[in-house]
Structure 1
Amino acid sequence: MKKLALLAAAAALAMSAGPAFAAKKQVVIVVKGLDNPFFEAINQGCQKWNSENKDSEYECFYTGPASTSDEAGEAQIVQDVLGKADTAAIAISPSNAKLIAQTLKVAAPSIPVMTLDADLSPDDASLRKTYLGTDNYLMGFKIGEYVKKGKPNGGTVCTIQGNPGADNILRRAQGFRDALSGQKGIAALAGEGGWTEVSGCPVFTNDDGAKGVQAMTDILAANPKLDAFGIMGGWPLFGAPQPYRDLVGPLKDRIASSDFVIGAADTIGAEVDIAKEGLVNALVGQRPFEMGYKAPSVMIDLIAGKKVEDPVFTGLDECTKDTVDTCIQR
């Protein structure tokens, strides 16, 4: 009897405590893969929001497949998250835009859906409420401007890309080509603006740094007179920094004189140090921490039915060897 009385007292105490014992509703961020430091920066933003909003009824929950190459795994996680009763809203960085769109069509979620970092294709944009992240076309365009500034008369170029189904990377590549060609919508550079993409390019590396460096090695071996690389994600630099240094180090003098030009995306990990070392002409960086920090508030506004702009851009940071000490916004 004494034990029952104690249990009853404990239950009464829990009931009187009310919401403090209730599980929080989750605003969920699903990224392409947990193996990428870019997405870890998004997680840090998510956790910062949690630390500043401990009294909120919502909690930012970060998840994704173990590897950025696991497109099916990401789609399964999205499906699972949408099936949970405590999921109040979801922000997705689609590794494969079409696959995630199909997942959303089948799931037909009744909660707000937004995209983060990478968007759905324009044809599927109605499946989400807004996009929060980088203006990826502008990012690619700026990388192209730096390459064009270094080689104003044009030359041969190769783009290193990530996942062929990732909308954000495809938008960057389009912006890059448009900047070099001076035209809109060029599918492949074949002399426009003086620029030609070499055979075998673009190269898709599934966001793998080592594959990116190997692809650059192979392209340089096949095209010793190559003039430029446009790297649409920082994977070779932050994912395999020493192999990148080993490959590009012998080209340092050519990079310094803009005889050879490398423009790359992102400013994370070892990338800024690599820029200081003069092993890349320019970096155009995103703000992943800001994405992760802002996403919960945007999702909560969507839950409340408030008007949210579409898109919500988080800005860019442009870094060269001469500006790396001050180029990144904090």
Structure 2
Amino acid sequence: MAQQMSRREFLRWLALSGGVVLGGQALVGCGTPGAGSGGGSATSPAGSPAAGGAGRPLTFVWSPKATNNPVFDTARVGAMDKAKELGITVEWVGPAEADAQRQAQLLDDVINRGVDGIGLSCNDPDALKPTIDRAVDRGIPVITWDSDSPQSKRLTFYSQDNTKAAQKAAELFIQFMQDSPNKTYAILTGVPGAQNLEERIKAFRAVVDPAGFELVAIDPCYDDIQRGIEVVENRMAANPDLGGWFMAGAWPLFGDINAMPKLLANKGKTKIVAWDTLPAQLQLVKDGLVQALIGQKYYGWGYDAVGILYDIVVNKKQYPPFVDSGFDVVDSPQKADEFLKKWETNDWR
């Protein structure tokens, strides 16, 4: 089995790609991974940048749930690429680990100093609602991406349709489980209550449970890679004959796979359908440990969503409450190879 990227190796890669985590806030340059960009924010060195307050370039803040989660780094690259095209500044501001209160605190600081727009992936829809509403009340347009706060005053939400994507995940799960003697399964989630994760779980269960499968547990890992590894191993110890896993996020698959010997011992027996299509996971499909993956439009969380907010601020365009990004499906080694080539070229447009 190919060696997986450890958390330390990922953070080193992130630093080399231009991202530096400081006190829970990531300040990043506009380069793509490996470009060696310095810290700061992305602006275009040429052209006429859109004007913000006091004649400065237009400034947006982009806030992921956590700066230590690798799915968000591609969003960062997309945001910086779009910022460079538009001649604006985008700052990457988020908690080091998934923490709704810390995310709200960081964004409150942003609101107090003043920016031209905010885009965020919400750790918790209720916890972030007051912050979003405060920003909008102060004249700062806010959109959400990846994870929503639907009762807030945000202007639009850019993401995959979680219900459709999770229904597809359920269909794949049933397909791969059809010959399994044990029809039990467990669900791995991140932060309990996160809007996107709850939607996935609800839609997945709506298809799988009536088909005769038995849910044994929903285990949270709070968006933490190491905790995800521990949660999976503990569940496999408690249920050694577990039929399958639905991972609403693939946190443990980003870490050291060899740290999950109980899961590895059931390779091919315990079926896994998981979210996300990063290189480490794609390799696991090729290796036969994971049967299928649902991919989000990570690059679009930055590139497309920054463009949406720019249209709202500069062009006064109105968007519907939800903008569907679509989703990807990887359910064979051949498709895994196709997506690995995308990661090698870093071409997502």
Task: Output the CA distance in 1 between the equivalents of 2:283 and 2:178.
Answer: 27
Name the counterpart of 1:226: 242
Following superposition, the deviation at residue 247 of structure 1 comes to 3.9
Match of residue 288, structure 2, among 259, 273, 278: 278
What secondary structure does 1:202 align onto? strand
Task: Output the CA distance in 2 between the equivalents of 1:220 and 1:66.
Answer: 29
Contact 1:37 1:269 in 2 (8 A): no
Contact 1:98 1:120 in 2 (8 A): yes
Name the counterpart of 1:112: 141
Q: Which has the larger radius of gyration?
A: 1
Root-mean-square deviation over aligned CA pairs? 2.2
1:120/1:25 Cα in 2 relative to 1: closer, same or farther (>3 Å)? same
Task: Output the CA distance in 2 between the equivalents of 1:172 and 1:147.
Answer: 14
Name the counterpart of 2:198: 170
| Cα shift readout 1:213-244 (whole Å, capped 9, x = no counterpart) | 21111112111221111000011101444424
Following superposition, the deviation at residue 60 of structure 1 comes to 1.9
Name the counterpart of 1:295: 305
Following superposition, the deviation at residue 78 of structure 1 comes to 1.6
Task: List aligned pairs for 1:222-261, cutoff 5 A.
Answer: 222-244=238-260, 246-252=261-267, 255=268, 259-261=269-271
Match of residue 204, structure 1, among 220, 232, 246: 220
Task: Output the CA distance in 2 between the equivalents of 1:321 and 1:144.
Answer: 16
What secondary structure does 1:283 align onto? strand
| Residue identity opposite 1:60 in structure 2 | V
| Cα shift readout 1:178-202 (whole Å, capped 9, x = no counterpart) | 1213xxxxxxxxxx3211111xx20
Following superposition, the deviation at residue 106 of structure 1 comes to 4.6
| Cα shift readout 1:13-44 (whole Å, capped 9, x = no counterpart) | xxxxxx8x953121221111111111111111
Name the counterpart of 2:109: 80
Name the counterpart of 1:95: 123
* TM-score calculated relative to the size of structure 1: 0.80
| Residue identity opposite 1:61 in structure 2 | E
What secondary structure does 1:159 align onto? strand
Say whether 1:305 aligns with 2:316: yes
Contact 2:233 2:263 in 1 (8 A): no
Task: Output the CA distance in 1 between the equivalents of 2:90 and 2:203.
Answer: 33
Moved over 6 A (4+): none
Task: Output the CA distance in 2 between the equivalents of 1:284 and 1:240.
Answer: 21
Name the counterpart of 1:11: none
| Residue identity opposite 1:213 in structure 2 | I
1:120/1:239 Cα in 2 relative to 1: closer, same or farther (>3 Å)? farther
Contact 1:217 1:247 in 2 (8 A): yes
Name the counterpart of 1:216: 232
Contact 1:38 1:288 in 2 (8 A): yes
Name the counterpart of 2:24: none
| Cα shift readout 1:254-297 (whole Å, capped 9, x = no counterpart) | x2xxx431100001141111111111011111121121111221
Task: Output the CA distance in 2 between the equivalents of 1:242 and 1:83.
Answer: 46
1:213/1:74 Cα in 2 relative to 1: closer, same or farther (>3 Å)? same
- Percent identity over the alignment is 28
What secondary structure does 2:311 align onto? helix
Match of residue 51, structure 1, among 70, 84, 93: 84
Gaps of 5+ in 2: 1-50, 343-347
Say whether 1:326 aligns with 2:338: yes
Task: Output the CA distance in 2 between the equivalents of 1:243 and 1:133.
Answer: 32
Task: Output the CA distance in 2 between the equivalents of 1:268 and 1:325.
Answer: 12
Task: Output the CA distance in 2 between the equivalents of 1:242 and 1:269.
Answer: 17
Say whether 1:135 aligns with 2:130: no
Name the counterpart of 1:317: 328
Task: Output the CA distance in 2 between the equivalents of 1:231 and 1:143.
Answer: 10
Gaps of 5+ in 1: 1-18, 182-191
Contact 1:94 1:166 in 2 (8 A): yes
